[in-house]
Amino acid sequence: MVLIGILALYLVKDLPATGRVGFASGTAPRIFAYCLIGLGLAVTIIGWLNAGPNLEPLSIRGPVAILGSVLFFAFAIRYLGLAVTGVPMVLISTAAARENYRWKEALIFAISITAFCAVLFPIVLGQPIPLWPTFGR
């Protein structure tokens, strides 16, 4: 957080900090950057002074399942459409759970969220997302 705040200060160095009425285009970004630096320092100091819980070993299963789900969606949405891509995408991401997941509940959720998204994005919001497969088009 401290590094992001320092980067923000560097990026707004050419913006004016004050104007005729006090505030200029660089005032708010500087204030937020200083707040971010202060917050980052506070979190760092509190973290050094307090002993926290032991961290569990990092499992690769979760990130791989989520990344696989996102990649599947990215490559399949254009050709298979939202109605066909949604269910497998949710089921792939369900594999990220550490405990035993229930496929029946995951399938019900996958169908429900896919139906919701199929109505929301192409119909309600008018997004140019194909709803059905576009084989041969």
At 34-74, the pLDDT tens digits run: 999 999 999 999 999 998 888 888 889 889 999 999 999 99
* pLDDT of amino acid 93: 92
Distance from C-alpha of 107 to C-alpha of 22, rounded to nearest angstrom: 57
**Token pair for residue 64?**
């791989």
* pLDDT of amino acid 26: 85
* pLDDT of amino acid 24: 80
* pLDDT of amino acid 100: 75
Q: In the structure, what pLDDT confidence band is assigned to residue 137 with cuts at 50, 70 and 90?
A: low
Which phi-psi region, left, alpha or beta, contains residue 81 (left: φ > 0; alpha: ψ -120 to 50)? Answer: left
Distance from C-alpha of 106 to C-alpha of 33, rounded to nearest angstrom: 42
Q: In the structure, what pLDDT confidence band is assigned to residue 1 with cuts at 50, 70 and 90?
A: very high
Percent of the chain with pLDDT over 70: 98
- The count of residues in the chain is 137
Nearest to 92, CA basis, from 113, 71, 118:
71
Average pLDDT (99-120) is 90
* pLDDT of amino acid 136: 59
CA torsion through residues 127, 132, 135, 137, sign: negative
Statement: residue 95 has pLDDT above 70: yes
